[in-house]
Amino acid sequence: MARIVVDPVTRIEGHLRIEAQVEGGMISDAWSSGTMFRGIELILRGRDPREAWIWAQRICGVCTMVHALASVNAVEDALGIEVPENARLVRNIIASTQTIQDHVVHFYHLHALDWVDVVSALKADPAKTSQLAQSISDWPMSSAKYFKGVQDRVAALVASKQLSLFGAGYWGHPAYHLPPEANLMAVAHYLEALTFQKEFIRIHAVLGGKNPHLQTFLVGGMATSIDPNEPNATINPERIDFLLEVAKSAGDFVSQVYIPDVLAVAGFYRDWFGLGSGVGNYMSYGGYPQGSIKDPADFFLPRGIILNRDLSKVHPVDPANVTEYVARSWYDYSGGDQVAKHPYEGETNPKYSGPTPPYDFLQVDQKYSWLKAPRYQDQSMEVGPLARMLVAYASGQQDVKALVDATLAKLKAPATALFSTLGRVAARALETQLLASRLVGWIEELRDNMASGNVRIHNGEKWDPSTWPDTARGFGFFEAPRGSLGHWVEIEDKAIKNYQAVVPSTWNAGPRDAHGQRGPYEAALLKTPVADPERPLEILRTVHSFDPCLACAVHVVDATGQLKARAKA
């Protein structure tokens, strides 16, 4: 029996530590710990709610803009503001662009090296690699000469004995199964995707001035002025053409590179359709309003919950049922460790009780993480692309159903194969394809509105704080790339009184609760084989399949205790 520690878990956002118990070559128990705390919600208190999004956006620079959107949604909910249709469309365009870019980066740059052995690519025959590439896709960059060039680049790197970012990989690990040609093809696409991500994200630069950390949201709408006749309007016919061109090129990359690669890799790792399942409950708040944000039935991606892997029933979601525990987290609650608190009543009194650094192991039988443990009606929920696709599939959303069924047929796998490590990888890819296609439609709707003379982009009725009630509170939500995101805001005397975010990676990476119920990462790692405890590649596979984002996950709320006292000091 051995305790394995992976810290830092790299190729993620933020600071995550996994401790796992291994017995007989298999994980018998696991603990997920977030090891960094900033306290952004506390910093937000007392500030102007109209600028909360600028601050909240900095919760994360990888899934940049998602907290900005959840934040303006929350403040608009509190103040009763409906945004104009053009603003809704621009938000959908920005949000889907983010998710598409984020998913591509996740697969190629954060996750692929768990399946792809870079050094093995040196043994590949470029001519056979070309045949392989052309057999699965029409993507033009597939000649033997092209792959030889990529191989030469890798060879030069290895020959230099300075492997740079690739220096400490688990190359040659027995759990790598791709043939050298598939590895070479994947390395080529790793490099192509580096170019893709920076080109595609220029949609954000046009609409938000820059990426990461766009500067374009407004409570009540967007700062993207729109006018068919003005060359200096943020959105005009020329910019629409640019957006459409970039969006369409993304569709090509996703359908001709990303999707075929995922299917090819999955074909060599079929056992991972049976590993890494986890808690088996899946939640989606739903996203991409097609009319009012108050009408979830009309969202592009539906709202709902799947319980115990039962796809025959979709349960409703009520934000009132969200609570958080701190029984195994480094915080105190006024009511003690047994209680769970709703975000509006939430408190965060950080009280570190872990080992004094430097340390070798956490006290996993006590408190062991800066993440709280969110629960829905006292149950652990997995959130993210898999949850969204399952909820949409079970809800009968036509596009999703067709895409998922066709993919399962290609993989010759039943729907139950989706409840797995590879299921998350596949769901993420399918969602990317779905959104890449829908993105073009949203840009066209915006173009048509503009052409018909609709230039309304902001609802300024409540911009002046003198129009606000003395107190107000609201809930803003969004399906971020990594899952269900909620922001709760309380406004008093024109300023933020309390602010709280319950974010995707808190749902997924959170620790045990007062009942000892594991979080989704912890549950998914159970029964994972570990061939070599010194090089725990398999742990990375399952943890990375969730696409961890730890900076998001650690947050602080209404600090009625220690932190408030400090704030006054």
Partner 1 sequence: MKSSRHALPAALQARGVSRREFVKFCELMVATLALPPRYVSAVEKAFSQTTRPVLVWLEFQDCAGNTESMLRTSNPTVAEFVLELLSWEYHETIMAGAGKQAEEALERVVRENKGQYIAVVEGAIPTADGGVYCTIAGKTALDIATHVCTNAAASIAVGACAWDGGLVRANPNPTGAVGLQEAVPSIKVVNLGGCPHNPANTAAVLTHYLTFHEMPALDQYNRPLFAYGNIIHDQCERRAHYDAGRFVEEWGDEGHRKGYCLYKMGCKGPEATYNCPTVRWNDGTSWPVKSGHGCIACASHRFWDTKSPFYKRLPSVPGFGVDVTAAEIGWVGTGVVAAAMVAQVAGNFVRDRIRPKTAEKTDEPKDSRGD
Return the residues of window 214-233 that contact partner 1 according to CB under 8 A: 215-216, 218, 220-221, 223-227, 230-233
Give yes or no for a contact between 509 and 32, defined as CB atoms under 8 angstroms apart.
yes
Q: Which stretch binds partner 1 (CB under 8 A): 33-41, 310-318, 381-389, 521-529?
A: 33-41
Can residue 352 be called a binding residue for partner 1 (CB under 8 A)?
Answer: yes
Residue 501 CB partners (closer than 8 Å, separation 6+) = 41, 56, 59, 67, 70, 485, 486, 487, 488, 552, 555
Judged by beta carbon, residue 294 or residue 359, the one nearer partner 1 is 359
Q: Please state, in angstroms and rounded to a whole number, the distance separating the CA atoms of residues 253 and 167.
A: 29
Other Cβ atoms within 10 Å of 517 Cβ, number = 17
Among 3, 21, 28, 47, binds partner 1 (CB under 8 A): 47
Interface with partner 1 in residues 457-476 (CB under 8 A):
457-458, 460, 463
Interface with partner 1 in residues 78-107 (CB under 8 A):
105
Catalytic residue selected from 13, 19, 41, 181: 13
Interface with partner 1 in residues 524-543 (CB under 8 A):
534-536, 540
67 catalytic? Reply is yes
230 catalytic? Reply is no
In 445-548, at which residue ranges do the beta strands (DSSP E only) sit?
471-480, 483-492, 495-502
Among 127, 408, 455, 472, binds partner 1 (CB under 8 A): 455
Shortest reach from residue 564's CB to partner 1, in Å? 9
Judged by beta carbon, residue 168 or residue 409, the one nearer partner 1 is 168
445 catalytic? Reply is no
Q: Which two tokens stand for residue 352?
A: 């570190």
Catalytic residue selected from 60, 303, 395, 545: 60
Alpha helix segments (H runs only) across 419-482: 421-451
Residue 235 CB partners (closer than 8 Å, separation 6+) = 90, 207, 224, 225, 226, 227, 446, 450
Among 24, 316, 358, 414, binds partner 1 (CB under 8 A): 358
Catalytic residue selected from 505, 522, 538, 541: 505
Distance of CA 137 to the CA centre of its chain: 27
Judged by beta carbon, residue 171 or residue 415, the one nearer partner 1 is 171
* Number of residues that this document lists for the chain: 569
13 catalytic? Reply is yes
Give yes or no for a contact between 59 and 550, defined as CB atoms under 8 angstroms apart.
no
Catalytic residue selected from 17, 32, 50, 63: 63
Q: How far, in Å, are 314, 397, 434 from residue 392 at the CA level?
A: 9, 5, 12
- Number of residues interacting with partner 1: please give it, by CB under 8 A: 113
Judged by beta carbon, residue 49 or residue 296, the one nearer partner 1 is 49
Q: Please state, in angstroms and rounded to a whole number, the distance separating the CA atoms of residues 226 and 33.
A: 45
Can residue 198 be called a binding residue for partner 1 (CB under 8 A)?
Answer: yes
Can residue 248 be called a binding residue for partner 1 (CB under 8 A)?
Answer: no
Can residue 144 be called a binding residue for partner 1 (CB under 8 A)?
Answer: no
Shortest reach from residue 262's CB to partner 1, in Å? 20
Can residue 12 be called a binding residue for partner 1 (CB under 8 A)?
Answer: yes
160 catalytic? Reply is no
76 catalytic? Reply is no
Q: Which stretch binds partner 1 (CB under 8 A): 74-82, 153-161, 301-309, 432-440?
A: 153-161
549 catalytic? Reply is yes
Q: Which two tokens stand for residue 487?
A: 């922001």
Judged by beta carbon, residue 148 or residue 428, the one nearer partner 1 is 148
End-to-end CA distance of the chain: 48
Dihedral (C-alpha) 302, 303, 304, 309: value to the nearest 10 degrees? 50
Interface with partner 1 in residues 360-399 (CB under 8 A):
360, 370
424 catalytic? Reply is no
Among 29, 82, 109, 339, binds partner 1 (CB under 8 A): 109
Judged by beta carbon, residue 58 or residue 128, the one nearer partner 1 is 58
Distance of CA 460 to the CA centre of its chain: 32
Tell me the DSSP string of 403-425.
Answer: HHHHHHHHHT--GGGGSSHHHHH
Catalytic residue selected from 111, 424, 482, 512: 482
Can residue 266 be called a binding residue for partner 1 (CB under 8 A)?
Answer: no
Shortest reach from residue 277's CB to partner 1, in Å? 23
Q: Please state, in angstroms and rounded to a whole number, the distance separating the CA atoms of residues 504 and 374.
A: 10
Which among 266, 508, 290 has a CA at the least distance from the CA of 399? 290
DSSP secondary structure letter of residue 529:
B
Catalytic residues: 13, 60, 63, 67, 482, 505, 549, 552
